[in-house]
Amino acid sequence: MFPLENCEDIEHAKIDLHMHSTYSDGVKTPEELIKMRAEQGIEVAAVTDHDGTDGVPEALAAGEKYGVRVLTGIELGTLLEKKYELHILGYCFDTQNAVLKGEIDKIREYRDGRNRRLLRVFQDKGIPITWEDLMQHPNQEYIGKPNFALAFERMGYVKSVQEAFDSPEFLACPESIALKKMAVDSLEGVSWITGAGGYAVWAHPMELKSPLDKKSPEYRAIIEGIAKTLKQSGLAGIECWHPSADREDSLWLEGLARELGLFRTKGTDYHGLR
């Protein structure tokens, strides 16, 4: 059973089911994250690195050590109907499941090729960035554009990760924008997690990109439609509480989740960045 199934007050529950470690683009190790949350009184936590689970064993061991119930976690970058970029969180799944592992390997191979091309783009511009600059951890499984941004910040080219993403000299240059990540279908992503015995949760719905006003009925209707589509494919929950949603949005998302019979979850999406 999902640990929050009977939790009524998610807003005040001592949980954080969304954190990133050095195994993806966070700056703290899984152990540091769990220790920090334990000190803050968090009772249930998950490290949900992008498209990989290599940090999970360390997070689970830290949970034992610091007395926090740690769930296995992952955050998959996916695309619904070839137009909506959705992040799908997975919890309580078997990290050794062959299908899930195989798909994560495919994503990683694709990303490696993309990253090598992206490195060349910046090297051709005269920036001496190397593969090593992208690594935050010796066995890092995930390298993505955020790692390029962190490297540019460390190298002193930009003042912040956000600046690296916004600058036409760096990640906002046309060559960089053209190099996209592998388009994993959202419904497949949900099925990999449920197939591995886990629960799939739609992360931060309010981050859905749209020209519409986020408070408008039209925007909310899109969110509702997506939630219904995902639910038909086995979605178990919605991340109702996340920094991208204000209290009103969160309560609205809770209402939607209840209406559709989905779990409600909460996460900080902590990366350890300023």
Binding of residue 269 to Zn ion (CB under 5 A): yes
C-alpha 125/C-alpha 147 separation (Å) is: 18
CB of 86 to Zn ion, least distance (A): 9
Alpha carbons within 13 A on the beta-carbon side of 14: 11
Taken in order 253, 255, 256, 261, the sign of the CA dihedral is positive
Binding of residue 16 to Zn ion (CB under 5 A): no
In the complex with Zn ion, the residue whose CB is nearer, 51 or 269, is 269
Stretch that binds Zn ion, among 97-105, 198-206, 215-223, 239-247 (CB under 5 A): 198-206
User: Which residue is listed with tokens 């996340």?
Assistant: 242
CB of 272 to Zn ion, least distance (A): 12
Binding of residue 87 to Zn ion (CB under 5 A): yes
C-alpha 23/C-alpha 55 separation (Å) is: 6
Stretch that binds Zn ion, among 141-149, 167-175, 196-204, 210-218 (CB under 5 A): 196-204
Number of chain residues interacting with Zn ion (CB under 5 A): 4
Stretch that binds Zn ion, among 24-32, 65-73, 143-151, 197-205 (CB under 5 A): 197-205
Helix, strand, coil percentages, rounded to 5, for the chain: 40, 15, 45
Q: Are 208 and 174 in contact (CB under 8 A)?
A: no
Binding of residue 242 to Zn ion (CB under 5 A): no
Per CB under 5 A, residues contacting Zn ion are 75, 87, 203, 269
